Amino acid sequence: MKKLALHWQIIIGMVLGIIVGLILIMGGWGQFSNDWIKPFGTIFINALKLVAVPLVLFSLIKGITSLSDVSQLSSMGSRTVGIYLFTTVVAVFMGLLLVNITQPGKAFTEETRMEFSQKFAETTGDKTQQARQVKDKGPLQPLIDVVPGNVFQSFTDNKNMLQVIFFAILFGVAIVMVKSPVTEPVKQLFDGLNEIIIQIVHIIMIFAPYGVFALLTSLLVDIAGDDPQKATELLGVLGQYAFTVTLGLTLMIFVFYPILLMVTTKYNYKKFFQGIFPAQMMAFSTSSSAATLPVTMDCVENNLGVSNQTASFVLPLGATVNMDGTSLYQGVAAVFIAQAYGLDLSIGQQLGIVITATLASIGAAAVPGAGIIMLVIVLEQAKIPVEGIALILAPDRILDMMRTVVNITGDSSVCVMVEKALAKKNGTGKLDGESAEAA
């Protein structure tokens, strides 16, 4: 018999988690969940956290070393990276704007939010303490913090992810610059390590249905105690959160990219959309930009008329570093969790989220569930309780499917833009989907 697709298994895990949670609440058997179900949720979260550092390290080094030389970074590279950064930052802003308007986390009653913040008062207190310490330091301290004095120390703490990213970029660029036969095995070693760590993510994801089940059951029990009304409240609020992410992703696809393409290339969006639709479907069902890459390249080259030279550079790079859907989601998720814990984020803190969500989406591997792992960094940098991830884990797989569609749509849009810019520079012909007046 054919095995059920993972996303269906996760959906079943979610539904069962809710049902079992409600039964335990109604029967007053909350302690059973604490003793026998909740630990599996904790193990699942730990497993996600444990791969964060190696995932970033290997996937970034692999991405950079796939460039043939550093000057390639400066011509097509700088243009591509610039536009990629722009779209990612716009996506986080969009997410932050929406979540500040819809305020899904505030839909928890005052009482529930108080309970949250009391329950995690210790962690929050710790973080506030840390925040105060940071405030007492000079204005350039964040910059100093990016450059570690001892990189092995950075590897030992997920909080030091920016240092890990810094080291990975430095290391990758140096490998590209050395270009000697002796560095070739090192490059291959990192390619191999990257494959291995991605496989570990796949293995962890096999347990996602059980993790989701345990987290959802224990979350309902934790929040509701013996009060079923509270459980219904949680599900309603999660629905609002998922709606906010979905709205943001929809706006990216149907408003932002069409405007961007119209303004910069006069490309016919309907033709663009039809051309990449197969890749979008692939992204939806695999939740992986990396797995979708061959289809994306095929669609962009054969259906949109982009040259192989541009597509083969821009798309693989984009699959690794450009994740507009992921960054939008991280912005929404971070603020949602903060709202749920009754933390009011200042404009400065939200701007911090823009930076970390941009970096975190760049560092996220193009595989299912990578976005939520990197969310740990965004939360830790913004001093939002990481435990809050438990709140959003349940609907994550479905949101992952949708944000992956946005990720590859963003890559394809930028690919068309870069092709157009290069064609203009070289005075060559126009793309298939461009309107006549654009020539």
What is the binding site for ligand ASP (CB under 6 A)?
Answer: 287-289, 323, 326, 364, 366-371, 400, 403-404, 407
**Nearest alpha-carbon partner for 209 in 3, 7, 371:** 7
Q: Are 124 and 343 in contact (CB under 8 A)?
A: yes
Residue with tokens 């490998």: 175
Question: Which token pair is 212?
Answer: 């989701």
Of 98 and 328, nearer to ligand ASP (C-beta) is 328
Of 172 and 325, nearer to ligand ASP (C-beta) is 325
Of 217 and 289, nearer to ligand ASP (C-beta) is 289
Of 202 and 271, nearer to ligand ASP (C-beta) is 202
Compute the least distance from the CB of residue 329 to ligand ASP, in Å.
7
Task: Report in angstroms the alpha-carbon separations of 203 from 5, 95, 213, 368.
Answer: 14, 30, 17, 11
Q: Are 338 and 368 in contact (CB under 8 A)?
A: no
Residue with tokens 């224990």: 218
Residue with tokens 């930076």: 355
Compute the least distance from the CB of residue 389 to ligand ASP, in Å.
13
The SS3 of residue 267 is strand
- How would you write 202-261 as a 3-class SS string? HHHHHCHHHHHHHHHHHHHHHHHCCCHHHHHHHHHHHHHHHHHHHHHHHHHHHHHHHHHH
Compute the least distance from the CB of residue 372 to ligand ASP, in Å.
6
Of 151 and 200, nearer to ligand ASP (C-beta) is 200
Residue of minimal Cβ distance to ligand ASP? 371
Task: Report in angstroms the alpha-carbon separations of 246 from 3, 15, 251, 402.
Answer: 28, 20, 9, 8
**Nearest alpha-carbon partner for 112 in 243, 234, 26:** 234
Which residues fall within 8 angstroms of residue 357, CB to CB, at 6 or more apart?
A: 92, 95, 327, 330, 331, 334, 378
Compute the least distance from the CB of residue 394 to ligand ASP, in Å.
15
The SS3 of residue 434 is strand
Of 112 and 287, nearer to ligand ASP (C-beta) is 287
Compute the least distance from the CB of residue 73 to ligand ASP, in Å.
22
Compute the least distance from the CB of residue 129 to ligand ASP, in Å.
31
Compute the least distance from the CB of residue 282 to ligand ASP, in Å.
11
Compute the least distance from the CB of residue 368 to ligand ASP, in Å.
5
Of 175 and 375, nearer to ligand ASP (C-beta) is 375
Compute the least distance from the CB of residue 325 to ligand ASP, in Å.
7
Residue with tokens 């604490």: 34
Of 25 and 415, nearer to ligand ASP (C-beta) is 415
Residue with tokens 């289809």: 295
Q: Are 403 and 375 in contact (CB under 8 A)?
A: no
Q: How far is it, in rounded angstroms, from Cα 242 to Cα 333?
A: 9
Of 30 and 248, nearer to ligand ASP (C-beta) is 248
